[in-house]
Amino acid sequence: MRRVITIGREFGSGGRELARRLAEGLGIEYYDRAIVREIAKRTELEEGYVDSVLEKASLSKFPITEGRTFYDLNDPVFDMRQSIYLTQTNIIKEMAERSDCVIVGRCAEHILKDYDPLKIFVYASLESRLKRCRERGPEEEDLTDKELLKKIKGIDKRRAKFYKGFTGDDWGDRRNYDLLINTSFRDIKSIIPPLINYIEESAKVYFKAD
């Protein structure tokens, strides 16, 4: 029985840590930055450039689907953007087909909708996210609370715009997920054991048999 789990998350909610610990606890693959590295390898582009396209590309051309091509003659870099997005889609599908896995972000729950993944969204209060960013952020980052909150909200806004452009749905909308997890002022490690129990008990409901 294939187990594919996708994790959407608000910035600073601890969603990436939750995904990594969940994969470790289940003994399955964890995919996050590996997706960007593989895109860069296949397209022969720098990882930094791939990141910039995935975060800041024009959204007016979406949604991009396999088998269709959308062209904007006024946008000379559109072909490169399309190549990156389609490469990402193919990589995520290949990862899901290869083995049981946890995949972080990148609209994976939409890309893998035909694979019936368990779709999780991780969120937290702004106060909790601010605290977590303070504790986990780089030491050299010297931002005021106001500046850090602006950064948190800005990253969430970009994720929401990207998600809307790619999928046509609203990022974080509970109707797009099977499970919402509030990590406000919670130790991520304490969430993993009950989450694993939930997944194991729900396996026949959420995971399609091979």
What separation in angstroms does the CA of 196 have from each of 18, 23, 26, 31, 199?
11, 10, 7, 18, 5
pTM value > 0.85 = no
Domains along the chain with CATH numbers:
4-200 (3.40.50.300)
pLDDT at 53: 77
pLDDT at 139: 66
pLDDT, tens digit, for every residue of 133-176?
988 877 667 888 899 999 999 999 988 988 888 788 899 999 99
pLDDT, tens digit, for every residue of 35-85?
999 999 988 888 888 888 777 644 444 444 443 334 444 454 556 777 888
pLDDT, tens digit, for every residue of 36-49?
999 999 888 888 88
pLDDT at 45: 86
Over residues 9-33, mean pLDDT: 96
Is the model's pLDDT at 1 over the cut of 80?
no
Query: pLDDT higher for 179 or 43?
Result: 179
Q: Which two tokens stand for residue 204?
A: 């026949």
pLDDT at 61: 45
CA dist 17 and 191 (Å) reads: 11
Residue spans of beta strands (DSSP E) within the chain: 4-9, 29-31, 101-104, 118-123, 179-182
Contacts of 56 (CB under 8 A, 6+ apart): 158
Is the model's pLDDT at 6 over the cut of 60?
yes
pLDDT at 185: 95
Type of residue at 48: G
Average pLDDT of the chain is: 84
